[in-house]
Amino acid sequence: MYSDPPPVHSNDQNDGERQIKFKRPRYRLWRIYLGLIAGLIFLIALIGGIGIWVGYQGTIKGLPTITGLRDYAPPVMSRIYSSDDQVIAELAAERRFFVPISAIPKQVKDAFISTEDKNFYLHSGVDPMAIMRALVQDVFRLHGKRLVGASTITQQVARNMLLNNDRKLERKIKEAILALRIEQSLTKDQILEIYLNEIYLGAGAYGVASAAQVYFHKNLNQLTIAEAAYLGGLPKSPYNYDLYKDPKAAIQRRDFVISRMRDTGAITLEQEQVALKEPLLPVNQSNHRGPIAGTEWFSEAVRRDLIDRYGLEKTMQGGLEVHTSLNLDNQALATKLMREALMSYDRKRGWRGALKKIEKIDVDDWQTQLLHETAPKGMLPGWRLAMVLDGKSGKVGWVEKNSQQIQNFNATLDAKSMVWQKRSPHSIKTGDIVMIEPLADKGKVALKQIPRIEGALVSMNVRTGRVLAMFGGWSFAESQFNRATQALRQPGSSFKPIVYLAGMEQNVPPSQIFTDSPFSVGNWHPNNYEMNFWGPTALHNGLRYSRNLVTIRLAAQIGMDAVSKLSIALGEVDSMPKVLPAVLGAVETTVLRHAGAYASIASGGLVVHPTLIDYIQDRNGNVLWRSDAFKVDHLTDPNQLPELSDQRKRAASEQSAYQVITMMKDVIRRGTGSSASKNIDMPIAGKTGTSQNFNDAWFAGFSPDVVTVVWFGYDQPQSLGKGMSGAVVAGPVWNNYMKQVLASYNKRDFAQPLGVFLASYDTSKGTVTDAFKEGQTPGASINLNSGAATGELTASDTGAENVPDSEESMGTAMPPAEQNNGTSTDQPKQETPSSEGDIGMGGLY
């Protein structure tokens, strides 16, 4: 039988302790592992937290502040208005109009919110649901498809206003942080206002107001739901959905936005159906780029003025509202008449030949060949670039492009054009590229060429100096050089009224007799245009018939210092050489300054400064500047009307100015300016001007209300041709312009001031009527030898030593008219100088 083993009694107590010592707790190892893992996680979290904190601090350290957003003032284009408040030009680095959120229609706001951020009014700057949705779509997106974004409108504001536009993760983090800050600082409407005014919508348009003008030529409150939806779809890709480049894609995008607006409840089902059926019709973009046709010279002069006043940045981005004096009807008339005159003069000089010769034309595909040709910049909008298809018959073809198709046209040159080009050695041949103008007579066109001669015209209000019209040259696209404001030219004999005014100021009467006789001083031999001498001649007739020697003797008597000071005071010149050739117009001035000087005479001796701008407002409507020719005196009595106080300075007495005006009335009625008075039944006064060698042709004159100055010449001075005086070239244009402009003014005479009386008297050239000051005797002369008058011409008076030797043969070097065979050259042949003497540096007639 079995029995239990005997107990062991050795060291029983130690054995029990050993058993207790080696007994291990349950799961101890697992606890150790879990502790280590927890510690590691904590360490990682701690390090990560520190890293995130350091990264966050680094990120926010470089973040821009949002302080500027609170006083948001974006770069806004400046606009130039005509006198009747029509926009004639826009000045902008970015095409943008700022519109407050209260003025933006609900349907425009809904179009952008429905498409870009439907939860805009619910989130706090970042939309978590949109982010999750974008992540899912990006994970399962097809290869090549663009990543889906989840930026809210607030984030877009942060990116557009404060950050760059890269796609790095760091930028997205900054964008989110800034969005949260923006939401804490601004209201939702303030954020939406910034967004809708700042967003780029293609075609150079920044903001919804500018885009509405560019694409539809409408104000925001005139947009339909369909048009608003189109704008709302542009932020995704203005280029891809450009209405002009891809109308089909634009309509698809618009329809998508309309459906989103319906989904968000912004529009009803009925409104959706109507909007989807609406055609999407853009207006011509060219209607909203740059100045209105014909106003470029005026607008550019205004732009230069603004830059001088405020600098380039404020001019182009300050949102200035510039109200000008430009009369659009006068401007259109001036442009039409000047271009017609330039073409008429140039046409008489002969046909200069084709623009280009195509050696071998493809009779079946000449249109493609023509489409590769570039039209000259000076070609007028109504002209067409054409190819001569048959030189003998004058058959030409041209193409016209529009947004839909390319059309081909054929026609034949009219009879006048055929005769014109055949008289030239450069007659047209098959394959020539020429310019033509389609005529009302179907199947007929006129042959055209860009004139080489240039011209300028300035018309302004006599009293205020407000410029009503300005023509600065044939084509602004061809050359931005403004011949009205920038070209320094010699005014010739149209300078003489200033000399006469200086004489009247020294109490010389209009009937004063001066000797019209020859003399020579040094190398200077002044003469009259007609190369004859009248002997004793009254001042009145000296001006009426533009007698050079009478003017010279008058200036010698009163002194060149008086003439110089008056010329500067009137604004004709900044400085003037005190030499007698200057009184014949051997000084340099601009058409604008000349008009100002004539206006000063017409205004009774008060200095009239030409002004293009009436007043300037800032973007908030505050007046920054106003013309100060007349100051408004605000009265304390509200029942009284404000009064105008004349701030103009006086250069000459009213009486002296009226004496000169009276003489100038006879100049234009019966003297050298008679070509300018035809069919004008209103008191007018004026003077012709022709510079040496017929290089410049002027006519300057005025009514009691309007002064106009016309000039013709070449940019590089050369003769216009023998006999091409101011009366012949410029006078008829002045007449046609003033005849139509003055039709809108009441008929009235120049105001006769106190201290003068009108009297008639007999001269060697018949009876004339002049104005005389009190104490002067009509028809009599005074003793000029008493006082400062020299009574004798010397070399020091004439300044002959300052006349260059090259001018020795001046006045007789008159080029012949065009050849009878219709041909001409650009450099006219010079005749041999006559022994009768020179006409003199400066004016001829």
Q: How do residues 345-382 score in pLDDT, each as one tens digit?
A: 999 999 999 999 988 888 778 888 898 899 999 999 99
Among 144-148, 340-344, 628-632, the minimum mean pLDDT is found in 144-148
Distances (CA, A) of 223 to 211, 229, 274, 506, 511: 11, 10, 14, 68, 71
SS3 content of the chain, % helix, strand, coil (to 5): 40, 15, 45
Beta carbons of 272 and 261 less than 8 angstroms apart? yes
List of residues 6+ apart from 515 with CB closer than 8 A: 535, 536, 537, 549, 553
pLDDT-based confidence at 483, cuts 50/70/90?
very high
Q: Across-strand partners of 448?
A: 435
State the sign of the Cα–Cα–Cα–Cα dihedral 84, 86, 89, 92: positive
**H-state helical runs in 91-218:** 106-116, 128-139, 153-162, 169-185, 188-198, 208-216
Q: Across-strand partners of 643?
A: 633
Compute the chain's Rg from CA coordinates.
41
pLDDT for the residue 14: 53
Where is 708: in which H helix or E strand? Answer: strand 706-713
Question: φ and ψ at 445, to 5 degrees?
Answer: -135, 160
Q: How much is the average pLDDT of 48-73?
A: 61
pLDDT-based confidence at 825, cuts 50/70/90?
very low
Helices (runs of H) and strands (runs of E) counted in the chain: 25, 24
Which candidate in 78, 114, 116, 198 is catalytic?
A: 116
Q: pLDDT tens digit string along 375-427?
A: 999 999 999 999 999 999 999 999 988 756 788 999 999 999 999 999 999 99
Distances (CA, A) of 386 to 181, 428, 451: 63, 12, 18
pLDDT for the residue 801: 40
Q: Across-strand partners of 413?
A: 445
pLDDT-based confidence at 845, cuts 50/70/90?
low
Give which of 343, 517, 324, 548 is closest to 437, Cα–Cα: 343
Q: Across-strand partners of 521?
A: 524
Give the other-Cβ count within 10 Å of 393's Cβ: 12
Among 233-247, 602-616, 818-832, the minimum mean pLDDT is found in 818-832
Give the other-Cβ count within 10 Å of 499's Cβ: 27
List of residues 6+ apart from 501 with CB closer than 8 A: 566, 601, 605, 652, 656, 657, 660
pLDDT-based confidence at 813, cuts 50/70/90?
very low
Instruction: Name the residue with higher pLDDT: 302 or 176.
Output: 302
Q: pLDDT tens digit string along 658-692?
A: 999 999 999 999 999 999 999 999 999 999 999 98
Active site residue 493: yes
Give which of 516, 550, 510 is closest to 771, Cα–Cα: 510
Which candidate in 114, 210, 299, 493 is catalytic?
A: 493
pLDDT-based confidence at 784, cuts 50/70/90?
confident
Active site residue 786: no
- The span from the CA of 653 to the CA of 600, in Å, is 11
Q: pLDDT tens digit string along 558-573?
A: 999 999 999 999 999 9
Among 133-147, 202-216, 496-510, 747-761, the minimum mean pLDDT is found in 133-147
pLDDT for the residue 54: 58
Among 185-194, 676-685, 834-843, the minimum mean pLDDT is found in 834-843
Beta carbons of 275 and 225 less than 8 angstroms apart? yes
Beta carbons of 525 and 627 less than 8 angstroms apart? no
- pLDDT beyond 80 at 1: no
Please, what is the angle between helix 496-505 and helix 591-602, to 10°?
30
Q: How much is the average pLDDT of 544-549?
A: 94
- pLDDT beyond 80 at 68: no
| Residue in the block written with tokens 């000051």 | 773
- pLDDT beyond 60 at 215: yes
- pLDDT beyond 50 at 832: no
Maximum alpha-carbon separation in the chain:
184
List of residues 6+ apart from 106 with CB closer than 8 A: none
